[in-house]
Amino acid sequence: MPSSEVKSVAIIGAGAAGAATAAAFAAEDIFDTIRVFERREVPGGTWIYDADPGPPIQLQPGKIPPDIDPPMKIPYNLPNSTAPSLQPRYDTTPIYAELTTNVPEIIMSFSDERFAYGPFVPHWIPKQYIQNYFASHQIDRFLVLNTTVEDVSRLSNREGWNLTLRRHDPIRVVDVWWEEKFDAVILANGHYSVPFIPYVKGLEDFMNKFPGRVTHSKAYRIADEYTGKRVLVIGNSASGHDVTTQLVRSGKLKGPVYQSRRSRSRWDGRDAPAGVSWKPIIREYDSSTGEIIFEDGSILDNIDTVIYCTGYKPSFPFWNAKANGGPIFDYNENRLVGFHQHTFSIRFPHSLAIVGIPRVLTFRSFEYQAVALARLFSGRNAKPLPSSLEMEEWERKRAELVKSEHRTFHTILWDNGETMEWFRYFYEMSGLPLLEGKGRVPPVLDAKARWAYDHLKKYPEPGKDEEAVEEEGWFVVEKYKKDSAHFI
């Protein structure tokens, strides 16, 4: 299907990526139908706070989303109604009560609406910002809330997509199912839903022997829940650091907070802070004794709670791999499959795309992707996509590059100019909007914005500059706060 023939667009997800995408497509003023499907009751995505994390998460060590977040069985003869599904859908968010942002405005805002709150704001401020963005851009009219996309399948008789949708009806106490068809689909469903716990010898038996003793940071809300307990935190990225710090500050635990780390992070000093006992990675769990054995041979017993802060895996349970010719995510390689520039489907370049997988300059990067996609799908793009062979070659070379540099496929570096090169690709594809004002102007990353991001990461690094002091810039951000734009 040529891009100029795209008239109906489905956007899956109403977080920041979905908001940027809806605004960009609406601005083109050429699409007959734009619908933003969101399974929650409000827009806001990851920033929605659930005081109650819901039923205990059924953790499965070493398992990946296709195993633990599988597709739902679709009823026959749609539209239809069925008994409410009891299958977990991981729709609560990982936001904990004390979570704050710790990044400059450029990361937490879109170019056309200021985020005038400063870096240290509670979690409800970004949520409100996203909701206000939907309202101020009049794209809240596209929202279809409380609706889960359960299947996305390529139409067999024509180009386009069939979406199978489900919504719970609390009055009739049934799940209502129906279908809608679209020319194009944009995936903007985020990647902080399905928690990941690595395989460790004996862990599964340990969890069966001691139900509730092992949890994931997705279920963490407040430190007071662990009063009088001995706690082991696994992980040393953003959430591991935050959870450990909050537990120590509460002063209500029994003994120190034990923290298992694979390596030091930039916020770590030479020695563990007061109230924290560092441990290496875990070698084994002994369910017969309740002991936890570490790589150095040390042992902890009588631990009341183990909190895994080991992140999340992207999940696409709605993607019908059989109908669509294969999966879109390789969990062994931890990356999208068949997508050019982390965005454009190589197999379906003019009707399928994804926004929000790389986590560099989050909100602003969503905007670059969204404007370019809106321009492409409207047929107004200034530069064409490469051929399928050229896009496949980009994907192959990208895989080789990141493997040689020991980083993940979707990690886009800032210091070497890679981020600017990536943004420039979208910027040049987008070009200018029409003279009549149809279309968004792709954002400009000026010197001030680049300075803000340059200085975001300048914390003292272990063994390098712990004694250094700066009077100005993001260097002086308090070390106990979150230092990143993500949760893992």
Could you identify the residue written with the tokens 């009049």? 138
3-state secondary structure 8-62: EEEEECCCHHHHHHHHHHHHHCCCCEEEEECCCCCCCHHHCCCCCCCCCCCCCCC
Euclidean distance between the first and final Cα of the chain, in Å? 39
Going by C-alpha positions, the residue among 359, 335, 312, 357 that lies closest to residue 453 is: 359
Query: Which pLDDT tens digit goes with each residue over 443-456?
Result: 998 888 888 777 76
Does 459 score more than 80 pLDDT? Answer: no
197-310 has the same fold as 3-194+313-452: yes
Confidence of residue 473 (pLDDT cuts 50, 70, 90): very low
Query: Which pLDDT tens digit goes with each residue over 80-131?
Result: 999 999 999 999 999 999 998 877 777 889 999 988 776 778 999 999 999 9
Q: Which fold has domain 3-194+313-452?
A: FAD/NAD(P)-binding domain (3.50.50)
Q: Which fold has domain 197-310?
A: FAD/NAD(P)-binding domain (3.50.50)
- Beta carbons of 62 and 199 less than 8 angstroms apart: yes
Domain boundaries, the chain: 3-194+313-452, 197-310
Does 474 score more than 70 pLDDT? Answer: no
Could you identify the residue written with the tokens 């017993």? 301
Query: Which pLDDT tens digit goes with each residue over 360-398?
Result: 889 999 999 999 999 999 999 999 999 999 999 999 999
Does 4 score more than 70 pLDDT? Answer: no
- Beta carbons of 127 and 19 less than 8 angstroms apart: no
Containing 33, the helix (H) or strand (E) segment is strand 33-37
Q: Which residues contact 421 (CB under 8 A, 6 or more apart)?
A: none
The pLDDT of residue 456: 66
Q: Note the residue count of the chain.
A: 488
CA atoms in the 13 A half-sphere facing the CB of 87: 16
Quote the CA–CA distance of 481 and 19 in Å, as a whole number: 27
The pLDDT of residue 274: 95
- Beta carbons of 169 and 186 less than 8 angstroms apart: no
